[in-house]
Structure 1
Amino acid sequence: MSEDAVTESRLEPTTLVELCRYRASREPDRRMFAFLENGVEESDSLTLAQLDARARAIAARLSGHAPPGARAVLSYPPGLDFVSAFFGCLYAGLIAVPAPPVLRVGVDDRYTRFRAIVNSCRPDLLLSNASRLDRVDALLKDMPTSRRPTSVATDEISETDAYGWNAPHIDPDTVAYLQYTSGTTGPPRGVELTHGNVLNNLSLILANGTRATEDIDRLPPVVSWLPVFHDMGLITGVLQPIYVGYDAALMPPTAFAQHPVNWLRAISDRGAGISSAPSFGYELCLRRVSEQQLRSLDLSGWRIAVVANEPVRAEMIDQFSAMLAPYGFRREAFFPSYGMAESTVMLSGGPVEPEPVIRRFDAVALAKGKVQRAGPEDEARRLVGLGQLHPSMTIAVVDPATGEPCAPDETGEILASGPSIGTAYWNDPEETARTLNATVRGHDGRRFLRTGSLGFLDGGQLFVTCRVADLIVVDGMQHYPYDIEAAAAESHPALREGRCCAVTVEDGRCARLVVLAEIDSRYSVAADAAPDRPSGVRVTVEAGEVEEAIREAVFAAHGLRADDVLLVKAGSLPFTTSGKLQRAHCRSRYRAGAFETV
């Protein structure tokens, strides 16, 4: 399919409401959305006509409860009710606020995130389906009555209400929804995304990936297990399909997490051409999908495998490609990209290349903040390029302390400017000024987003090395926590893969390197035990042995001394609901002595 044909198949809308109504008018009976409740079997579907009718009915009802511009928090279990309710908010001119599904008060990440979102945006409405609404509403019983939102079960609204709908007065500058950040380095913040921001990013994503669909007559479907309350899941599974014309098969995140092969099987069964995941999704497949499970799969139709997050490991791309090549997966399908909630989702990515861009850089130079291609005999770091920039985007690399532009051969904080960048953080003018309205010398009149990521541009590709807040500096040399954590995790079989954390903690005199490591549940740790001695169904190992293995591995790989090593129970390290390790939270908990050691 040519790029002209793709462009011709859709209107150039000015709002997401125009987009959905146009798509429904063109193909009303098209079953655009399907839901795979157990990750395998289709349990629900939604045609474009049904989506439009449901959205109009929900909008008509919600308009009786709150005026345009009011906030509506959406807390839904996995399924298609969210899709109808999200567009129902837009059709009413309300600001949709996607939030995680929660059912009980607790200290888990989803409840913490849900309460943080509610406390931040102070919603007028709380939306869910009837089976869950009372339990979700009960989570807010401690709020003052004057601040408690009105609860609405959207699945109980009759489609006959659609006849009472009146189109809202909205334009490209109207805020469509608040996309809350993942909370990796601080509390979640609500990014105000306008209809114009979102449509620009949808166009950018299409432009960067068009080449992969140029030679086919009908666009292949999308398969997604990503939570729709996160930026990547909302764009990949809901908005991009409507913008471009993909059919979408959605499944619960738990259906993937419990059985990762479900994701690959759905791609195979539906001939899906596009599917996206953070790096940890591909890593989980490597660890938990067996050769026997792969034998019946055909992944030859998977044309774009979007991978995002920091970092995207070259080794993961090598291993995943090799494991799935016998079943039709092509290495060329990998589409590394970079983005964040503040940029709607994508900042850079593609264009679709013969292969992902992986380059060797001098490791010693990088440790000094310099960018230098590695020679054949040099100690090298293989870094994955996270794509090129769309012409609408501008990137500046600056010193994170001074804001001054870096030289082309220096690493620095990545700043981005373009029409996909959100307008503000909800009710947070100070952070808006600091993060979303930065200025850069030589770019007068432009506002820049401070991404908080270190990196550089090389040969037209964006490379991201580390979060500014996570960078470990010892004796003037820069070290990336991901590398230290990988070395630690591989040092002993009793450690959980991907469940180590490396941070520095100031003690008043110097920065101390601390490694936190989760013990695999198959092992029992004792202060003084004979290694490999069976203890029930578990193996008992000596704590000192594991700690020493970590210290030796970190020193051998990086020349660093681990000043403290803590062995903690499985599940102790905090991760965001999008799977990102919260190193700042780990540092705070370590200082407070809040980790329970094994």
Structure 2
Amino acid sequence: MSEDALTDSRPEPTTLVELCRYRASREPDRRMFVFLENGLDESDSLSLAQLDARARAIAARLSRHAPPGARAVLSFPPGLDFVSAFFGCLYAGLIAVPAPPVLRVGVDDRYPRFRAIVDSCRPDLLLSNGSRLSRVEALLKDMSTSHRPTCVATDEIGEADADGWNAPRIGPDTVAYLQYTSGTTGPPRGVVLTHGNVLHNLSLILANGSRATDDLARQPPVVSWLPVFHDMGLISGVLQPIYVGYDAVLMPPTAFTQQPANWLRAISDRGAGISSAPGFGYELCLRRVSEQQLRYVDLSGWRIAVVGDEPVRAEMIDQFSAMLAPFGFRREAFFPSYGIAESTVMLSGGPVEPEPVVRRFDAVALAKGKVQPAAPQDEARRLVGLGQLHPSMTIAVVDPATGEPCAPDETGEILASGPSIGTAYWNAPEETASTFNAAVRGHEGRRFLRTGSLGFLDGGQLFVTCRVADLIVVEGMQHYPYDIEATAAGSHAAIRDGCCCVFTVEDGDRLRLVVLAEINSRFRLAAGNAPDTPSGARATVKADEVEEAVREAVFAGHGLRADDVLLLKAGSLPFTTSGKLQRAQCRSRYRARVFETV
């Protein structure tokens, strides 16, 4: 909460509805949300009084269609209609289910995620705005489910309906919303989050970032381009601003991906103090933001640059800090963190202001699952610490196969326990039992979440090395796919940076190492003797030359033989809507021979 909320006699809110209503009663005219349609120019805004009135009106209307506890899928185009509809669901005691906006089947890569969410939660209501509702409703006709939700255009609900609102009977244990996972390792799963889970995580985030300023009541705004249907975007762009009391400047994700400089310009123009992104957001700036675009940018006020990834690349921190230092960005602003939807969002992070923690570990020892500081002469891996743990959270590192606690100098699967952890996966009892109900020797009576990530604790910091499912083990040595992918991408100029995928498949009694690599559209591949490249045309290279470069680099850098190298056209690899590579899908498509080589 802001400083005034923290010092008054009023108890902490027990639900998100209490929180929003309290904010609206204290600062009704405050324009807390602003939307930049093109990433630069303000096109809409929402005061706290307007948000409260809209939420009450929407809740009153929705209550006519569904009882408390029913599910409502929210599929909105970027804008502030989502914010009002989300709180409208909470005000009605409904379970909100954020989902991506979808236009058409077949041509919209978000449709599979939308369909998976609807199939999973079987909603009673489907919410969107009037301009999109008919399109979203039409998608249901292509789905096999016999359960048809009632469709409601929330922007067509008049505020006069607010007078008919009755406060729902909800508490901290009431389910607030289902946060569907990004789908990097399998189909999206709906994490059941209560009001108590979310409020605890909001307090945890504030505690981990509390050194940012001594006056939270005058905290500069947050700027966010993150999709609000993902955990990071919903928390950082919608809920945390209301919890802490700072303003939020939102923009469409495409305003960033099409022109990454828009993000940096908005931070500069709005004097933002906080902005968050997964690692790929910072990487995209490195690749596509020019010095000319930064000419009038001042990033000196950017105090917390949250980066959430597993792992965070030390090289990215180095390069981003160096590129933007002339424009006021400070390396100390980087706030590496680790979070997953199953824990609302954040598990670890911070502290604020010291430089990110980057430590050198013995690479050979890590390949054997051991944690050992690297001597100056040793081959080393630079790993970024993903923050400290809040006292209310407990972390255990265990052998992923046996569940036995690891020694302090061993890597293992990270298990977490605490009030931020969701209660279950929606309508998935088997997955819930295996993921949310782990037991750890020495922590009897405590329920642990299996995060699916490998890592270790060192000097108060959490280090994450790899997903359990992605780890490549050859002859007893552990290899991280991210490292091999970076090596493959750097092996030849024709390969797109950040667009490689490495995994293994079983072939009889051995594993085959597969490398998928997208080819930069500036290059054209040719078989045999490549002809001379005409003036002004795309550069022509031999396919064999690129494949051999990948194999040589992977062997030289990691001692591994790449059994199969597939060169793909740009855009072939599947990524989540939050920019994460979907390795499970890549492996599945490879086995099904779906990929077409260039």
**TM-score category (smaller protein):** over 0.9
Matched letter for residue 104 of structure 1: R
Which residue in 1 is equivalent to 2:132? 132
Does residue 484 (structure 1) correspond to residue 484 (structure 2)? The answer is yes
Which residue in 1 is equivalent to 2:289? 289
Which residue in 2 is equivalent to 1:279? 279
The answer (yes or no) to whether the contact 1:232–1:345 under 8 Å persists in 2 is yes
1:66-215 matches, cutoff 5 A? 66-106=66-106, 108-143=108-143, 147-214=147-214
What displacement does 1:352 show? Answer: 1.2
1:365-444 matches, cutoff 5 A? 365-444=365-444
Matched letter for residue 7 of structure 1: L
Which residue in 2 is equivalent to 1:319? 319
Which residue in 1 is equivalent to 2:340? 340
Matched letter for residue 6 of structure 2: T
Which residue in 1 is equivalent to 2:351? 351
SS of the counterpart of 1:232? helix
1:451-470 matches, cutoff 5 A? 451-470=451-470
SS of the counterpart of 1:454? strand
The answer (yes or no) to whether the contact 2:411–2:456 under 8 Å persists in 1 is yes
The answer (yes or no) to whether the contact 1:109–1:576 under 8 Å persists in 2 is no
The answer (yes or no) to whether the contact 1:524–1:535 under 8 Å persists in 2 is no
What displacement does 1:8 show? Answer: 2.7
The answer (yes or no) to whether the contact 1:77–1:101 under 8 Å persists in 2 is yes
What displacement does 1:593 show? Answer: 1.1
Which residue in 2 is equivalent to 1:57? 57
Structure 1 length-normalised TM: 0.98
Q: Distance in 2 between matches of 1:529 and 1:105?
A: 42
Cα displacement string for residues 449-507 of structure 1 (whole angstroms, at most 9, x for unaligned residues): 10000000000000000000000111110000000000000111111110001101111
SS of the counterpart of 1:109? coil
What displacement does 1:109 show? Answer: 3.3
The answer (yes or no) to whether the contact 2:2–2:245 under 8 Å persists in 1 is no
Matched letter for residue 516 of structure 2: L
Q: How many residues align?
A: 597
Cα displacement string for residues 412-464 of structure 1 (whole angstroms, at most 9, x for unaligned residues): 00000000000010001110000011111111111111000000000000000
Which residue in 2 is equivalent to 1:575? 575
Which residue in 2 is equivalent to 1:242? 242
The answer (yes or no) to whether the contact 2:2–2:217 under 8 Å persists in 1 is no
Q: Distance in 1 between matches of 2:331 and 2:427?
A: 44
Matched letter for residue 162 of structure 1: A
SS of the counterpart of 1:162? helix
What displacement does 1:536 show? Answer: 6.3
Matched letter for residue 161 of structure 1: D
Matched letter for residue 463 of structure 1: F
Does residue 449 (structure 1) correspond to residue 457 (structure 2)? The answer is no
Which residue in 1 is equivalent to 2:6? 7
Cα displacement string for residues 274-296 of structure 1 (whole angstroms, at most 9, x for unaligned residues): 00000000000001011111120
Q: Distance in 2 between matches of 1:52 and 1:341?
A: 27
Which residue in 2 is equivalent to 1:30? 30
Which residue in 1 is equivalent to 2:502? 502
The answer (yes or no) to whether the contact 2:256–2:263 under 8 Å persists in 1 is yes
Q: Distance in 1 between matches of 2:66 and 2:579?
A: 34
Q: Distance in 1 between matches of 2:532 and 2:328?
A: 41
What displacement does 1:7 show? Answer: 2.4
Matched letter for residue 170 of structure 1: I
What displacement does 1:537 show? Answer: 2.5
**Comparing 565-574 and 533-542, the one that deviates more:** 533-542
Cα displacement string for residues 572-593 of structure 1 (whole angstroms, at most 9, x for unaligned residues): 1111111111111111111111
SS of the counterpart of 2:43? strand
What displacement does 1:108 show? Answer: 4.5
Listed as ranges, the gaps of 5+ residues in structure 2 are none
SS of the counterpart of 2:388? coil
Percent of aligned pairs sharing the same letter: 86
The answer (yes or no) to whether the contact 1:3–1:210 under 8 Å persists in 2 is no
Q: Distance in 1 between matches of 2:361 and 2:284?
A: 27
The answer (yes or no) to whether the contact 2:2–2:216 under 8 Å persists in 1 is no
Q: Distance in 2 between matches of 1:227 and 1:128?
A: 15
Which residue in 2 is equivalent to 1:526? 526
Matched letter for residue 88 of structure 1: G
Q: Distance in 2 between matches of 1:78 and 1:3?
A: 27
Matched letter for residue 69 of structure 1: G
The answer (yes or no) to whether the contact 2:125–2:149 under 8 Å persists in 1 is yes
What displacement does 1:214 show? Answer: 1.7
SS of the counterpart of 2:438? coil
> RMSD of aligned C-alpha atoms?
1.5
Matched letter for residue 521 of structure 2: S
The answer (yes or no) to whether the contact 1:11–1:22 under 8 Å persists in 2 is no
Q: Distance in 2 between matches of 1:440 and 1:109?
A: 40
Cα displacement string for residues 41-77 of structure 1 (whole angstroms, at most 9, x for unaligned residues): 0000000000000000000000000000000000000
Q: Distance in 1 between matches of 2:324 and 2:580?
A: 25
Which residue in 2 is equivalent to 1:565? 565
Matched letter for residue 568 of structure 1: L
The answer (yes or no) to whether the contact 2:4–2:217 under 8 Å persists in 1 is no
SS of the counterpart of 1:451? strand
Q: Distance in 1 between matches of 2:531 and 2:285?
A: 30
Q: Distance in 2 between matches of 1:297 and 1:549?
A: 39
Q: Distance in 1 between matches of 2:416 and 2:288?
A: 37
SS of the counterpart of 2:566? strand
Which residue in 2 is equivalent to 1:232? 232
Q: Distance in 1 between matches of 2:285 and 2:144?
A: 46
1:538-553 matches, cutoff 5 A? 538-553=538-553
Q: Distance in 2 between matches of 1:143 and 1:522?
A: 39
What displacement does 1:167 show? Answer: 0.1
What displacement does 1:240 show? Answer: 0.1
**Alpha-carbon distance change, 385 to 531 in structure 1, aligned in 2, over 3 angstroms:** farther
Matched letter for residue 403 of structure 1: G
Listed as ranges, the gaps of 5+ residues in structure 1 are none
Q: Distance in 2 between matches of 1:240 and 1:543?
A: 49
The answer (yes or no) to whether the contact 1:36–1:251 under 8 Å persists in 2 is yes
Which residue in 1 is equivalent to 2:45? 45
SS of the counterpart of 1:571? coil
